[in-house]
Amino acid sequence: MPITHYIDSSVLGFSKLQTLLDEDYKIALSEEASAEIDKARSYLNLKQKESKHPIYGVNTGFGSLCNIKINEDKLTFLQENLVMSHACGTGDRVEDEIVKLMLLLKIQSLSYGYSGVSIKLVERLIHFYNEGIFPVIYEQGSLGASGDLAPLAHLALPLLGKGEVIIDGKIESAKILQERYGWEPLVLQSKEGLALLNGTQFMSAHLLRNVLYSRRLMKWADVIAAVSIDAFDCNMSPFDDLVHQVRPHKGQIETAQTILKLLHGSEIAVNQKQNVQDPYSFRCVPQVHGATRDALRYIEQTLLTEINSVTDNPNVFVDEDKIISGGNFHGQPLAIAADFMAIAMSEIGNISERRIYQLVSGLRGLPTFLVSSPGLNSGFMIPQYTAASIVSQNKQLCTPASVDSIVSSNGQEDHVSMGANAVTKLNRVIDNIEKILAIELFNASQAMHFRRPLKSSEAVESILDAYKEAVPVVREDKVMASEIQKSIRFLRNHKI
């Protein structure tokens, strides 16, 4: 029997989200969530009949057309037209992994009962999630305010039997859903199209994907730095707790403690050193990695708030007898967090490349370019070039998107967050960090070969033994791209 996670008002945290993804949970509405959704929909139906004034998003146009009232018999057309007209995405297709997160986060947001949608609509989204049916969504099109309108329109299209979906890895017309699953296209009620399109789920899902990835990458960053520290025959004194207690940034202290733990028992670490000081890329690992850790704490808290929030508009407050048009769809918190994360994580790649450079420079008793016969063999010369190229690209990708804004909708939407651009740039930065770290481990493992017979710690030697099974020591020139790919796969698959 599949394990079920019930959507309710409890906080959806990162550990739970990782479990939902890793163990392929099915999801369902709790009784509490069902009751809240029904309550809001019933209230909205009643207000729609009783009110003599237009209610934005319920019986009006949208954006700069908000003052145009729509007749009762046209409300379904209004919502369907909204979805179709806003499906203007272009560019690369969004990964299935992120679309799955978008579905989950949209369901979570609608479940709180402040959106006025029907149970039927939310349950159809749940069917998509549980059956692994992913609407085809494109990366470009959202301004990150009024919500992620274009990508969320593509998320909504298959509910109407329109657009395309991914089923078992293949792109199919959404019309197949009725034939294969018996799902008739939904007839949207008032406000339902707007509730689907308003929201920050494109930005949130991308940021969430990168937060979950970065948690793993930060563990690897410390492990790989520890390998490089021994490979470069570094002093251990910069990691002494006394140094960090007099400048007690939390991330700095944590990183220094991790490095000491990883290198505990290393023969290389306790060996007499000829060098009094080490380059900053080794000596300042606690300060640099630690600063990124502290930045990630802010980013995680911002994201945690967002994914447990209501981000559509207007919001329905039944107990207070109010329907309020506000701006919870505005992505500025996420845009700033994504830009901050790109900057913080890019520094992990930046310092990693500097360690790579030092390892191939023919210093500390290591051969030039980490190969026994330099000249005849180029050895590890060009992997450093590759890392440098990727680091440079990350610097370019770190130009903030959140400082930009372009007026839209006839001036009604006169400030937007550009958060969608921020998170898609962030995707590339995080993927690049993985590549850089994989190249560093490739270099550090090779450098350790020249430290024998001395050994590192039990923790480091265990990782190196597993690594060399996948990426053996390079004894003469070979196609290095293949070895780098093996190294990347090792980082993804090896448990740390």
8 A C-beta contact, residue 59 and residue 72: yes
What are 216-220's contacts with CB under 8 Å, separation 24+? Answer: 216/496, 217/345, 217/348, 217/430, 217/433, 217/434, 217/437, 218/289, 218/292, 218/293, 218/296, 218/348, 219/496, 220/437, 220/441, 220/491, 220/496
Question: Crossing angle for the helix pair 119-131 and 31-50, nearest 10 degrees?
Answer: 140
Q: Which helix (H) or strand (E) holds 322?
A: strand 322-324
8 A C-beta contact, residue 185 and residue 159: yes
Q: Which of 56, 213, 298, 357 is catalytic?
A: 56
Active site residue 56: yes
Tokens for 251? 């991330």
Residues 64 and 66: their CA atoms lie apart, in Å, by 5
Other Cβ atoms closer than 10 A to 86: 25
Residues 201 and 203: their CA atoms lie apart, in Å, by 5
Q: How far is CA 319 from CA 38, 39, 42, 310, 315, in A?
A: 13, 10, 12, 16, 12
Q: What is the separation of C-alpha 432 from the centre of its chain, rounded to a whole number of angstroms?
A: 13
Other Cβ atoms closer than 10 A to 297: 11
Q: How far is CA 232 from CA 227, 289, 318, 370, 450, in A?
A: 9, 18, 65, 12, 10
Residues 227 and 231: their CA atoms lie apart, in Å, by 6
Q: Which residues form the catalytic set?
A: 56
